[in-house]
Structure 1
Amino acid sequence: MRRRHHFHIDYRGHSVSVTVETGLRQVVEVLVDGKETGFATTRDDRPVTVPIELPTDPPTPASVRVTPGPGVPRCLLLVEDETDPHVMAPRLY
């Protein structure tokens, strides 16, 4: 059974949203400021990391780490040169 989960964080004035579609094959879509900037798929409950860039001057390399399961998926925003990850809050649609 497929199910969609949504996550969001505002970071340095930029909106980062993630949609995780669970099921036999997990699909991860990442939007930065409303534009699709990352996409990945994984099987089972294996974590996946999607590289992205935040549109700052100069661009800031970052990534979104998604753990699809078991249970409810979890998302973290990992920004280069920062040691602590940022937990992305679940968002209801």
Structure 2
Amino acid sequence: MRQRHHFHTDHAGHSVSVTVETGHTVRVEVLVDGKETGYAATRGDRPVVVQVEIPTDPPEAATVRVRPGPGVPRCLFEAPDAESRPMSPRAY
């Protein structure tokens, strides 16, 4: 059965949101300021890494690491100028 899980964090004045859709195939979508900037898919509980760009001046590369399972998915946000941090779950 498919389930959607949502996560969020703010970085450098920008909103970063992740939707993880679990099931046989796991789909991960990353939005920065409401625009899709990254997407990945995998099977089962394999970890997923999605590279995104934060629209700062100059643009900044960042990484979202997703562990889809077992259990509830977890997301970690990593940027060069900030400490890695877990993304907060969000109910939609």
- Is the TM value for this pair above 0.5? yes
- Map 1:12-31 onto structure 2 (within 5 A): 12-31=12-31
- Map 1:47-86 onto structure 2 (within 5 A): 47-82=47-82, 84-86=83-85
Could you tell me how far apart the structure 1 residues matched to 2:8 and 2:89 are?
7
Q: Which runs of 4+ in 1 moved over 2 A?
A: none
Instruction: Say yes or no: does 1:89 pair with 2:88.
Output: yes
- What code does the residue aligned with 1:74 have? R
Could you tell me how far apart the structure 1 residues matched to 2:91 and 2:77 are?
19
Deviation at 1:80, TM superposition (A): 2.3
Deviation at 1:12, TM superposition (A): 1.2
Structure 2 residue runs without a partner (length 5+): none
How many residue pairs were aligned?
A: 92
User: Alignment identity in percent?
Assistant: 67
Deviations along 1:33-90, one digit per CA (max 9) or x if unpaired, are 00000000011101010000100000111010000000000001111254x3111000
Could you tell me how far apart the structure 2 residues matched to 1:53 and 1:7 are?
17
Could you tell me how far apart the structure 1 residues matched to 2:54 and 2:85 are?
14
- What code does the residue aligned with 2:27 have? V
TM-score of the aligned structures, taking structure 2 as reference length: 0.96
Structure 1 residue runs without a partner (length 5+): none
- Give the RMSD, CA atoms, in angstroms: 0.9
